[in-house]
Chain A
């Protein structure tokens, strides 16, 4: 630590920070615009002026920009210096020259950094008396609204969009006092992280378009700490609601996971909770038609169904631990299915086993950003785990940071670091069947079929550790590639190997684990990361259960009379033939879900479940981190959390075990306790967040702001009585503006960010132990998988234990005549189930096309035969796709089928005009 003097007061600071960070960490109010903890300093806005003195004797000093100067031992600065203060006020005055006075109708109002900074500088009276410059706004697509007149030209948007996120279609145009931040022409922002502009922009230029449709002020919304449900990364989010409807999703900082950014699927995918496809009442099949029935009737029907006791439950990788575990308790371990196919379950189990036995490091997303060599082995992380892809974009900057360190340039001096790093090579290798968005920043990207990639991976592991199995008959070019990769990873300090389930290939994940384990022999920081498909895939793997194939066998054998399918559209897992087989073999099908699906449509009884915005639940992300979401709205009966349906059903299942416990559950806490006893691997999950009995400063935490307006009048058209806040016995929150709140809140329980004088998301600095570091109340979540790297305290296990390398090396893939290896093309928008009920995400998805390698002239359509069903698919060539391979967006037109598989292709003549499945 160094001591610096701020207006005569001695303050402690970490060495190497810039003065702005040091002042903010010291609790001072120093206004700024262009600096962002994740983007560094560029000195553009000139807002953070302070006076710096060269010595205790120096009375003159000079005005400097705090963000551009490093803090060193003995640094003496003054914020209150009149000239510095005058400059800060002038800067806001200049920004205000062209800024419209539209705060009352601006959607940023009340959470606007510009408003806060204006107040902070003391600027209040307009002296500029000439006309304002105006701009034309653009239509930027379904996610982001554009109001350029509000722009203060801090350049944050383009620095985030282009430099940080790799976007191409947003730029600064024009010059002098008419700089324009937008696209070359109207059109949808193409980058997968465009929604972050809403939070990056310090004022109202970029605002949340879907939120605009249901707009309400920040201070009028309830906030719930939550976890994104649209992939397995587990980004932390805040869900905002008013009048018991969800209004928007914001980023919730977690220093180890998503930090400052979300992907657009995560930010805009929540729309399914408000969609017409929501199931809001119990539905009973009467004469072949679903009719809405009361809870009592639904329970009575259920009791009839389970009369003979042959009940079976199917859980889901998108349901919470609480829901899945309660279903398992209801039906018993033997009658419980994961809801996954054997193949998917094998992959999930393998991923869990490989991570658990990995002798090195299981990196967090934040760790991945500082990996100094990365190998992506057969996974398009930009589509399956988008936020992880953004982390990898930062990892390729490690060499330039190193160059900056050598040149004594602080890492936060953004432009200098980027200039110094112009020639710094990337240390990212990508081996995938199809091109990915990260190829442009890779040192080398190579295309091959999954089996071939796995073979190269096994070969890399063998090159690093000769005791790892060797690959016979590897081609010369693949051997060369493996050698280059092995050299790169072998010379890194913090190498990282990434694979996943996208292509359904256990060999790929095993090969990745072999490499990571081989590296870990000499580098304890060697990381392994495996991407899983859904928000609770890892949690489900930890709970366990039988695969769907076993359910079908039992059903066909007549051993199931009632099948309870919870939060799972089986049509996404089973091909139509198998699904029909299952449905026809079971007399009574009960579906518990929040969203209608082809599966719920075939059910005899449908029970409405709460969505993640309406209940408490715990998810385990792909790194094994258990994290809890809390309700932003109160579920309207009969909608209730799936587990509450289990407790309601339990008394009707007279014959079966271990109901008694289930019947007595009152709170989510009770489930977590029971789960800890029943599944030791998940015992730690109880600590994902403090339980319902937690009190902050002796009180329950308010999840509405102290400025909430309208509580007493919002229902005055119904009743003039003051309504008590809806009770929330299951959480440590009060659904009210009364309650406790503060910057020391546990990270898992922060409902919104706000601090005195800081009303925007920039108030986050007040909640962090150090800027861009952990939250003061601790980053949320608890890791359930052991990490063997020495950076994790408390782990004493002997890491020299012999590692058992996987040796199941597949034969090389050879392209065949008339057949093609069909692989899933996972899409950011289109592949994930729930977000495809969200209108803006649907608007961003594009039609499904079968993509084939770029070869000769192709017909417009190709006939694809899968299990005697023929599909006519539009065709496009995809430059760079591996030979002999085709990709198709999973789940978009063809219901589930097992990827990968070899399928015969019949070219259809161009004059054949029938579309879709036939």
Chain B
């Protein structure tokens, strides 16, 4: 197997230089999927390939991509307005995989969108890009312009009669825009507030039209699935899930970074092999396996494979697959305070428990860190973690995400919380 088939997502990425242009992209194997799909496959056949590949959404929720596409009304693009939206609003703390993909090989995303657009018969694609991603914006825009100039985007692509174009939208900010329905609301020019679950966006999404929102990494896989086939993709994963995954590690390791690895690579391999293990003098206590809104996984559980279902067995969630490590010389209460400050600030303000519950949590953690905490404060934290973390209490998954590290942290680090009470503040601060 060549490197493209082992590491399809990053094979063409060389961050030392500019990303490949259309020609280089084509020479390295790009555009094959487009030629194949547009000339030889029906839209339903493309959906079927993606379904058989068992590709699951890489934004964190892990929803089967083929299933999502298959619920879009089948009318041809000429009959009905539809949208294909790339969720490139990568704002999850500790996560930077989509940035690498967009900066390193923007045409891979363009082609993935083109194929997804063909599959659902949409003629309009939109990339909703995190506002701070300046370089990605520049490179994506250049890639879109070049692809359009060369006929890979626009009217009548490859003479097949299929038309598809892409707009690039730079976000005005806010974490909640990464929530797929809030993203659509923001695109429409309204406040970025999530929408209800029914009817789904695939039926009534952007401006009421059928819309599919896929994560950047998800879309980047499409051209490879179409080119090499679903069985090839399925074979890439080592465990229950198919394909490769961009994993990452941040924290006090020797080589923090990202790696494209087979889906299901054990956490231990990530930390000890790829990240080079903990820095000298630091031991691993726990980690957030897939971003700030995933529950802590204890250091004892790191032999678990990083796939959607395995990680749940130890109380974690795959999330974005970009782990944040907590070492033994960092205060878990302080870390939670930092996280909850972020979540409280990023609440959109729509529903009461999230809007007014998260700031309360933040202030309780402030008090504990500042040495003014009380026994009751821990009770209140537990109450919030329990209520806000339960399904259906809040409008969207923001507050449950915010409670994931808190609830697991309260269980794992209960002694640290107690020490903040008895010691009237953070023991690590006092020690320093």
Partner-B contacts on A (CB < 8 A): 42-47, 49, 62-65, 68, 86-87, 90-91, 94-95, 97-98, 127-128, 130, 152-153, 155, 172, 174-179, 407-409, 413, 415-416, 419-423
List of A residues within 8 angstroms of B392 by Cβ: 62-65
Distance in angstroms between the alpha carbons of A177 and B356 in the assembled complex: 6
Distance in angstroms between the alpha carbons of A62 and B391 in the assembled complex: 8
Structural contact, A46 and B351, CB atoms closer than 8 A:
yes
Structural contact, A46 and B198, CB atoms closer than 8 A:
no
Structural contact, B199 and A98, CB atoms closer than 8 A:
no
Q: Which of A46, A152, A174, A178 lies in contact with B395, CB distance below 8 A?
A: A46
Q: Which of B204, B345, B348, B359 lies in contact with A419, CB distance below 8 A?
A: B204
List of A residues within 8 angstroms of B376 by Cβ: 127
List of A residues within 8 angstroms of B348 by Cβ: 175-176
Q: Is B169 interfacial (CB 8 A cutoff)? A: no
Instruction: Output the least CB separation between B187 and chain A (Å).
Output: 12
Q: Is B100 interfacial (CB 8 A cutoff)? A: no
What are 20 sample pairs from A and B whose C-beta atoms fall under 8 A apart? A43-B351, A44-B352, A46-B351, A46-B393, A47-B352, A90-B387, A97-B360, A127-B380, A128-B360, A153-B349, A153-B352, A153-B355, A174-B349, A176-B359, A415-B195, A416-B198, A420-B199, A420-B208, A422-B209, A423-B209
Query: With contacts A415-B196, A420-B199 known, is A87 near B393, CB below 8 A?
Result: yes
Structural contact, A46 and B394, CB atoms closer than 8 A:
yes
Q: Which of A63, A97, A415 lies in contact with B393, CB distance below 8 A?
A: A63
Structural contact, B352 and A94, CB atoms closer than 8 A:
yes
Instruction: Output the least CB separation between A503 and chain B (Å).
Output: 38
Q: Taking each of A42, A175, A416, which has the highest tally of chain B beta carbons within 10 Å of its own beta carbon?
A: A175
The 6 closest A-B pairs by CB, nearest first: A422-B208, A94-B356, A179-B349, A176-B347, A130-B363, A175-B349
Structural contact, B359 and A416, CB atoms closer than 8 A:
no
Structural contact, B208 and A91, CB atoms closer than 8 A:
no
Structural contact, B395 and A44, CB atoms closer than 8 A:
yes
Partner-A contacts on B (CB < 8 A): 81, 174, 191, 195-196, 198-199, 203-205, 207-209, 344-353, 355-360, 363, 367, 376, 380, 383, 387, 390-395
Distance in angstroms between the alpha carbons of A415 and B208 in the assembled complex: 11
List of B residues within 8 angstroms of A47 by Cβ: 352
List of A residues within 8 angstroms of B198 by Cβ: 409, 413, 416
Distance in angstroms between the alpha carbons of A91 and B388 in the assembled complex: 11
Closest to A410 in B: B198
Structural contact, B347 and A175, CB atoms closer than 8 A:
yes
Instruction: Output the least CB separation between B375 and chain A (Å).
Output: 13
List of B residues within 8 angstroms of A68 by Cβ: 196
Distance in angstroms between the alpha carbons of A422 and B208 in the assembled complex: 5
Instruction: Output the least CB separation between A721 and chain B (Å).
Output: 52
Instruction: Output the least CB separation between B33 and chain A (Å).
Output: 32
Instruction: Output the least CB separation between A401 and chain B (Å).
Output: 14
List of B residues within 8 angstroms of A62 by Cβ: 391-392
Distance in angstroms between the alpha carbons of A549 and B204 in the assembled complex: 62
List of B residues within 8 angstroms of A127 by Cβ: 376, 380
Instruction: Output the least CB separation between B123 and chain A (Å).
Output: 16
List of A residues within 8 angstroms of B81 by Cβ: 423
List of A residues within 8 angstroms of B358 by Cβ: 176-177
Instruction: Output the least CB separation between B125 and chain A (Å).
Output: 19
Instruction: Output the least CB separation between B241 and chain A (Å).
Output: 28
Q: Which of A95, A409, A422 lies in contact with B356, CB distance below 8 A?
A: A95
List of B residues within 8 angstroms of A44 by Cβ: 350-352, 395
Distance in angstroms between the alpha carbons of A844 and B351 in the assembled complex: 36
Distance in angstroms between the alpha carbons of A155 and B190 in the assembled complex: 14
Query: With contacts A65-B392, A179-B355 known, is A43 near B349, CB below 8 A?
Result: no
Closest to B357 in A: A94
Distance in angstroms between the alpha carbons of A269 and B356 in the assembled complex: 39
List of B residues within 8 angstroms of A63 by Cβ: 390, 392-393
Known: A175-B174, A416-B199. 11 other contacts (CB 8 A): A95-B356, A97-B359, A98-B356, A127-B376, A153-B349, A175-B348, A176-B346, A178-B349, A419-B208, A420-B204, A423-B207
List of B residues within 8 angstroms of A90 by Cβ: 353, 357, 383, 387
Structural contact, B208 and A94, CB atoms closer than 8 A:
no
Structural contact, A86 and B387, CB atoms closer than 8 A:
yes
Instruction: Output the least CB separation between B264 and chain A (Å).
Output: 32
Structural contact, B191 and A152, CB atoms closer than 8 A:
no
Structural contact, A94 and B350, CB atoms closer than 8 A:
no
Instruction: Output the least CB separation between A403 and chain B (Å).
Output: 8
Distance in angstroms between the alpha carbons of A415 and B207 in the assembled complex: 12
List of B residues within 8 angstroms of A49 by Cβ: 393
Instruction: Output the least CB separation between A163 and chain B (Å).
Output: 11
Distance in angstroms between the alpha carbons of A493 and B380 in the assembled complex: 57
Distance in angstroms between the alpha carbons of A62 and B363 in the assembled complex: 30
List of B residues within 8 angstroms of A178 by Cβ: 349
Query: With contacts A90-B387, A127-B376 known, is A416 near B356, CB below 8 A?
Result: no
Closest to A155 in B: B350
Distance in angstroms between the alpha carbons of A780 and B390 in the assembled complex: 47
List of B residues within 8 angstroms of A409 by Cβ: 198-199
